A and B are shown apart, each in its own frame.
Chain A
């Protein structure tokens, strides 16, 4: 039994199909990159994984649980924008990752002190300890996204969903975010889904790259058919195909 199971999922808005016949199984700890042209249902697929929307047909289940009907603790998310709470300081944003599940949404007393200390550790790891008391509006785009990732991880989700998390960042910041994410993943071994426009990024970070595209295309009615997963690449070892590696080792062994 795989960790995330997507079984025969269709999603339709009104009469317009967005995605159709999506089947995919994902093992725990895999990093899945999702790429495809604009309007090909990548973000819809992520919203289905997030349970922000429920599929018209089919099911998405995580860790063998029943298909969720609303977003919950087992799924963490980072959007391209609006991912942190603007009215909370940087530290409180991290604390919120643990405290929002409480009846009043906050910690009290000793628990609060402990949560603050833990938040400071998380911030130090994200390189944000020097701005802990500032509000997110004063942070750069890269810092805000680091904060968003730190906040999502503070809630300890089973899967992390990233919707074009680095889309609005400049190339340099993007590279350092890749390093940050790679380090975090090595520590937590979390299952990650990342929607991106950047093919290079998709292959660099992902273990698998899923490509969404429309297999059927009616030139008279471009919206008649939905998109589905058309390619499922193995992107480990820099995207070098498994067979090629085998050949190489074979050659090496022969000598």
Chain B
């Protein structure tokens, strides 16, 4: 039998899925064990059980000075920035995507401008954002917006352009105005794609969030990681990195669920 025709059964597929996770964990555990047996004071690769203890301590114990549980406080601060940034990007991106995709006049006016804007490396703008918007929340949210908006506009306008010409002509023969075509034909067709694009831009959004928090902040997941780096607190860093990964995964999964739940007219495959 050819290799391309061999499909794993359900239990074996689950086993195969878990295998790389198990492999990484074991590799780490072994490496950590080797280093710790040579030097019990080693801080680079803390033992898995020590990381677990740190995790439990971080999520349950409050700060000695203020009594707040910093872990949840950081999570809330970061998610707020991320949600605000992505939310603004998605709404503005959707609006301009529709305008550019649907109206040739706006396309001639803005498409090239957005294409040039999207080439600016957002992190290079970070100092300007800090100078203009200060070190508060605003500059971090703006960085996420600046980093993800041009991609969203370009992607969504492209998707709107890809809507079959036949559908737009059909809507016109039913007497639809430009406005009705925008809200009743283009908008609903592009909504599932908006969710897809947001899923894709979540990676960059996290990157910009953590970069902004690392440089100037007084709370947030990225801030904490870069703060404890000074103390070589690998157990805390690992905890936060794992948590960020889980959060990112959950958000992605949630968006995919929304896409399936509300846009099931798009055939399977999303």
Give me the interface of A with B, judged by CB distance under 8 Å. 50, 52, 70-73, 75-77, 79, 81-83, 85-88, 96-97, 100-106, 135-137, 151-152, 155, 157
Contact = CB atoms under 8 A, between A and B. Distances in A.
* Most chain B beta-carbon contacts within 10 A, residue among A81, A82, A83, A136: A82
Nearest to B263: A87
- Main secondary structure, interface of B, reads helix
B40 interface: no
Contact of B173 (A86, A87, A157): A157
Contacts of A87: 188-189, 263, 265
B170 interface: yes
5 contacts: A50-B173, A73-B175, A85-B170, A85-B185, A103-B177
Interface of B: 164, 166-167, 169-177, 179-180, 183-185, 188-189, 263-267
A100 B264 contact: no
A101 B164 CA distance: 20
A209 to B, nearest CB: 24
B184 A82 contact: no
B169 A52 contact: yes
Contacts of B170: 77, 79, 82-83, 85, 151-152
Contact of A72 (B164, B173, B263): B173
Which of B174, B188, B189 has the largest number of chain A CB atoms within 10 A?
Answer: B174
Contacts of A83: 166, 170
Given A71-B172, A77-B169, A77-B173, A86 B189 contact: yes
Given A50-B169, A71-B173, A157-B173, A100 B188 contact: no
Given A82-B164, A86-B189, A102-B180, A70 B264 contact: no
A155 B171 CA distance: 11
Contact of A96 (B174, B179, B183, B267): B174
Contacts of B180: 100-105
A100 B166 contact: no
Contacts of B174: 73, 96-97, 100-101, 151, 155
Nearest to A92: B184
Nearest to B174: A100
Contacts of B265: 86-88, 135-137
Given A76-B173, A100-B175, 6 more contacts: A81-B164, A87-B263, A101-B174, A136-B265, A155-B174, A157-B173
Contact of A100 (B169, B171, B189, B263): B171
A232 B260 CA distance: 52
B175 A101 contact: yes
Contacts of B164: 81-82
A73 B173 contact: yes
A155 B166 contact: no
A106 B187 CA distance: 14
Nearest to A135: B265
Given A85-B185, A86-B265, A106-B184, A100 B176 contact: yes
